[in-house]
Structure 1
């Protein structure tokens, strides 16, 4: 009768798991932010939202060379490999934690021979299937630990995605920096060659008495300045290439590098909707990682709270025992045992209570970190959009300035050949044109880098 009662109660005891959860409830809060990054008419916002779609990082580069360089970096970068290994480590740790919720069952066999005084030698054979210290998760302590491990794994996955996104942005920026450095080198070399010709002409005119010593000195100073700028540009190109190859993780062939003559944009960005909602930030991998860390901290609080309550463990075994090896599986040789055990904390010097306080403080820290990350993400997008709003006008103005400087140089050269202006005016016109072209190169680079910064701030895509 007693055995039948135990066997009837055992399934109910084994099923008594997770009867209560002490994990704090509530989603990640959102700090007070504006609803969108720009303000526009509702009708225009609805029209743009209906005609737009989500945009992924893949296909963002319009230059096939840049696309291939980014792919190489994502495959070869050492820091990214370490991030991938960290994901696998946390994945394995989650499997370890999840296994604690399952019973550990083992199969054992034994043979015992012993001799006692006056009784002679006896032999006993046994085979048993045992359940080793299975915890009945009454207050979801093990479930909370598993939830925390899962959230940390998901956070590590999002951290790796964030690292991939950052690496792609850094490689693209380095590629654009190299392109701009090569264009500046081309402009500085052209100015150096022009100033060399002006200097040689001034030397001949001085030798013939047609130019003063002041004009000769000015031509020499202009040439040496241009020569120094060209030499500095060579160094800048070398450093930019080394930086790009460091990010790529390997030397890059010349066919994948930008050319100085390239003027077609390497980065394409569809028009950003005027009513871009702030909810797009929630897809950023760093924010998702922060949210998962907050969720893991909440699970830690639940586990710490559950540790203050009684813990019920169960040890059981069943098998067969016989003095003869051939009688192990005969009728009447079966043996079994079941040992439930309850652990009730009485006094631990306040250790469990302190652990609850630690976990709750860690949760508040994770909450503050999430809110701070959300505010920083909002600022990243708003700043990128603010810069972008003025770039088109600045580019138009600078292009007009370059055209005006080109016209000014043509007039200065004609006037100088006819004797209507001095050599100093010609040199100034050449320097002004080169300076205007340098600024135009910098603005084009800024516009391209801004596209990358915007898409990076949006987590690699946006939903209108």
Structure 2
């Protein structure tokens, strides 16, 4: 047989060793089954808005099929664009410059790299090496060069595969955490925008109260000079001005803090902030903010990124059990070298210098002090904890959606009721002032109606703010929508 045929045979043998090394064995991980969702199949009747979807008999752990769930759970104008141009600008700036989102993106890159490291362990490490040996007591030397396979463990029992799968699920969970961060930041920008506009409206209300009460002091000053009113009434009016001044200072502080919070959300990149936004009390502000249909609880399993992330972590824990089980079985490692070898360097690459060396190593665990069993118990305990965490995440999501749906209907009625009450108080103030100027009532009644009107104005502002904040909370509870969160 000629030298080239021997070299070819050795190369084929090395290729066969590498092919065997790439063969993966069976997986010892338990068969994964999604746990049943521990929530009702529909939201509480008290949480349903008038046009909400009627209850369904579909099990809570069975997601809706087709486009049914997507159209129901994401029926909101936010999925296309925000109706307010100032809010659109703030959201765009926040998605680009918010540091929490940048940190979440860095975590995704970190998880992707870790998955790459773990996946690479499933493949053999092949290197091109050359060695030269010069013994000290004789003149014989050894030279060799070739391709080496260094201590590669054959994955007959799926240990490397399960560890790679676990890293993959952790990576996917991190991606979902990034999506959850985007939804959270977006909802916080909406909430911060509402708080800034509402606090600015409270500042304007305090200033109008000061102007109105200062005018009342001027009127009473003239009436006291004319002997029509008493000095006590003038002091009472001045007391109202002082109270309004104190309220203005407090509201200015609240507004400054709300403005700073909004600036932080946008990464201090939007210098204009919300100062050019429409007034909070205008009919256009907040128009079209709301989810028309909440869908079914089962849709949360795929819509909420925190639930998807919890399930990915559960699958990672499931894969870790397979890796822990594989430690009880024998492990086989291969070290191989294929190339050329010669006692003289000048004849290293001549015919007949081919060499192939394969060194298999078998390791069978006999006694490890209970380490493998403890690792398996640890993996099972972590899997049990992951199941509980998954179920708790689902229940928390169900409560958040139910709370937001209940608020959606009740807060609309609250705004309507407080609007009507404010109109009543405004008419009562006009009538009381007319009666006071006619001498029919004392100034104490004027003081009472002034306080009632201011309280009604403030309560109406708070109700409008709460309604819009609830819209942001419902958006976040339902898992956002792809166009702005994905």
TM-score (norm 1): 0.90
Instruction: Identify which of 355, 362, 365 aligns with 1:335.
Output: 355
2-structure distance, mates of 1:254, 1:8: 68
Give the SS at the match of 1:30.
coil
The answer as to 2:484 corresponding to 1:454 is no
Contact 2:194/2:465 (8 A) holds in 1: yes
1:75 aligns with 2:81: no
Q: Quick one: structure 1 residues 393 and 239, their matched pair in 2 at CA, closer, same or farther if it must change by over 3 Å? A: same
Structure 1 residue 224 and structure 2 residue 242: aligned? yes
Aligned to 1:362: 382
Pairwise CA distance, 1:77:
2.3
CA distance in 1, matches of 2:292, 2:322: 43
Which residue, out of 210, 215, 218, partners 1:197? 215
User: What's the offset of the Cα at 1:244?
Assistant: 1.4
Q: 2:410 aligned with 1:390, yes or no?
A: yes
The match for 1:242 is 260
How far residue 440 of structure 1 moved from its aligned partner, in angstroms, is: 1.3
Please say if residues 118 and 163 of structure 2, whose CA atoms lie closer than 8 Å, have aligned partners that are also in contact. yes
Counterpart Cα distance in 1 of 2:315 and 2:306: 14
1:60–1:268 Cα contact (<8 Å) kept: no
Listed as ranges, the matches of 1:31-430 within 5 Å are 31-37=37-43, 45=54, 52=71, 54-55=74-75, 58-59=79-80, 61-114=82-135, 116-117=137-138, 121-250=139-268, 252-254=270-272, 256-257=274-275, 258-260=277-279, 263=282, 264-266=284-286, 268-269=288-289, 271-273=291-293, 276-282=295-301, 283-430=303-450
2-side partners of 1:44 and 1:73: how far apart? 33
| Residues 307-332 of structure 1: CA deviation (Å, up to 9, x unaligned) | 11111111111101234444333221
Q: Provide the C-alpha distance between the structure 2 equivalents of 1:392 and 1:421, rounded to a whole number of angstroms.
A: 37
How far apart, CA to CA, are the structure 1 residues paired with 2:221 and 2:417? Answer: 38
Secondary structure of the residue aligned to 1:102 is: coil
Partner Cα separation in structure 2 for residue 101 and residue 44 of structure 1: 49
Alpha-carbon offset, residue 271 of structure 1? 4.8
Question: Could you tell me how far apart the structure 2 residues matched to 1:433 and 1:42 are?
Answer: 34
CA contact (8 A) 1:265 1:448 kept: no
Q: d(CA) in 2 for partners of 1:92 and 1:303?
A: 20
Once the 2 structures are TM-superposed, how far is the Cα of residue 12 of structure 1 from its aligned partner?
9.5
Report the Cα offset of residue 72 of structure 1. 1.8
* Matches of 2:133 and 2:147, distance apart in 1: 18
Note the alpha carbon deviations across 1:389-427, whole angstroms, 9 max, x for none.
212222221111122222222222333333333333333
Q: Contact 1:415/1:421 (CA < 8 Å) preserved in 2?
A: yes
Query: How many residues are treated as equivalent by the alignment?
Result: 456
Distance in 1 (alpha carbons) for counterparts of 2:177 and 2:199: 32
89-98 vs 229-238, greater mean Cα deviation: 229-238
Q: How far did residue 299 of structure 1 move?
A: 0.9
Deviation at 1:143, TM superposition (A): 0.3
Deviation at 1:101, TM superposition (A): 0.3
In the TM superposition, residue 430 of structure 1 has moved relative to its aligned partner by: 2.8
Contact 2:101–2:181 (Cα < 8 Å) also in 1: yes
- Alignment deviations for residues 82-133 of structure 1 (CA, whole Å, 9 cap, x no partner): 222222111111111100000100101233444645xxx3444321111111
| CA distance in structure 1 between the partners assigned to 2:218 and 2:51 by the alignment | 66
- The DSSP-based 3-state class of the residue aligned with 2:366 is coil
* Partners of 2:32 and 2:315 within 8 A in 1: no
Give distance in 1, aligned partners of 2:442 and 2:310. 66
TM-score between both structures, scaled by the size of structure 2: 0.86
Question: How far, CA to CA, are the matches of 2:358 and 2:269 in structure 1?
Answer: 66
Contact 2:111 2:174 in 1 (8 A): yes
Return 260-269 or 439-448, whichever deviates more: 260-269
Segments of structure 2 that go 5 or more residues without pairing to the other structure are 1-8, 56-66
Question: Per-residue deviation at 1:51?
Answer: 11
Number of the residue aligned with 2:24: 18
Match of 2:59 in 1: none
The SS at the match of 2:127 is strand
1:195–1:219 CA contact under 8 A, matched in 2: yes
Gaps of 5+ in 1: none
Distance apart, 1:15 and its partner CA: 6.0
Contact kept in structure 1, 2:291 and 2:471, CA below 8 Å: no
Q: How many Å separate the matches in 1 of 2:53 and 2:368?
A: 65
Distance in 1 separating the partners of 2:99 and 2:310: 24
Q: What is the distance in 2 between the residues matched to 1:376 and 1:403?
A: 40
Q: CA RMSD in A?
A: 3.0
| More moved, 229-238 vs 50-59 | 50-59
Separation in 1 of the partners of 2:21 and 2:129?
Answer: 26
